[in-house]
């Protein structure tokens, strides 16, 4: 299965599967718990699900609008005090959540495709951490 199909399956779920990600991530990564204190995880799951559309689009092309969005998103995460070191455990837990909802059609190439896509988006979010805005 390719990355775009995997994303379509995430979007096609009636219950946002990304909601499960937050339960998993917060239990696996206790230092993230204080960062999400008071955050509505239902709404947050929808925001992250929509951001995955952006992540997948950006893996295909450097659309300027997508790049701007990722800079702004990075700036927001810096303002919220999210440490950069948490992006790798966040990525791995997110991929594991998606994999566990699509176990039959998963292979190592798909893990690598999600890793590359999330790393590329993260790199651009980190430019936002540095205040590197193109506008
Ligand atoms: C590729 C990596 C990530 C993506 C695509 C992403 C995506 C998002 C999106 C779309 C939002 C909503 C922004 C808004 O309110 O407009 C958000 C908020 C947030 N994210 Fe992330 N995020 C990523 C990494 C992380 C990491 C590593 C952490 C912490 C461990 C984190 C913690 C948060 C928190 C605490 C909020 C704020 C929630 C609130 O105040 O309502 N994110 N993220």
pLDDT at 131 over 90: no
Q: How far is the CA of 71 from the centre of ligand 1 (A)?
A: 13
Q: Residue 131 in contact with residue 78, Cβ under 8 Å?
A: no
Residue found under tokens 């176990």: 103
- 56-109 pLDDT, tens per residue? 999 999 999 999 999 999 999 999 999 999 999 999 999 999 999 999 999 999
Say what the pLDDT of residue 134 is.
60
Copy the structure tokens of residue 54: 């952006």
Radius of gyration, CA atoms only, the chain? 14
pLDDT at 18 over 80: yes
Q: Residue 125 in contact with residue 77, Cβ under 8 Å?
A: yes
Ligand 1 pocket, Cβ-based, cut-off 6 angstroms? 32, 35-36, 39, 44, 47-48, 51, 55, 73, 76-77, 80, 82, 86-87, 90, 118, 121-122
Find, among 122, 120, 134, the residue nearest to 60 by Cα: 120
Find, among 72, 116, 73, 114, the residue nearest to 93 by Cα: 114
What is the reported pTM?
A: 0.95
All structural domains of the chain: 3-129 (1.10.490.10)
């Amino acid at each position: 299965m390719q990355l775009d199909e995997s994303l379509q399956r995430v979007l096609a779920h009636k219950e946002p599967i990304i909601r499960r990600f937050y339960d998993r991530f917060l239990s696996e990564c206790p230092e993230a718990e204080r960062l999400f204190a008071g955050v509505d995880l239902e709404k947050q799951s929808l925001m992250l699900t929509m951001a995955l559309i952006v992540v997948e689009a950006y893996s295909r092309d450097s659309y300027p609008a997508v790049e701007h969005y990722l800079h702004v998103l990075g700036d927001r995460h810096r303002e919220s005090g999210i440490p950069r070191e948490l992006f790798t455990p966040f990525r791995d837990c997110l991929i594991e959540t998606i994999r566990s909802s699509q176990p039959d059609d998963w292979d190592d190439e798909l893990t690598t495709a999600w890793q590359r896509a999330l790393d590329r988006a993260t790199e651009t979010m980190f430019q936002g951490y540095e205040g590197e805005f193109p506008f």
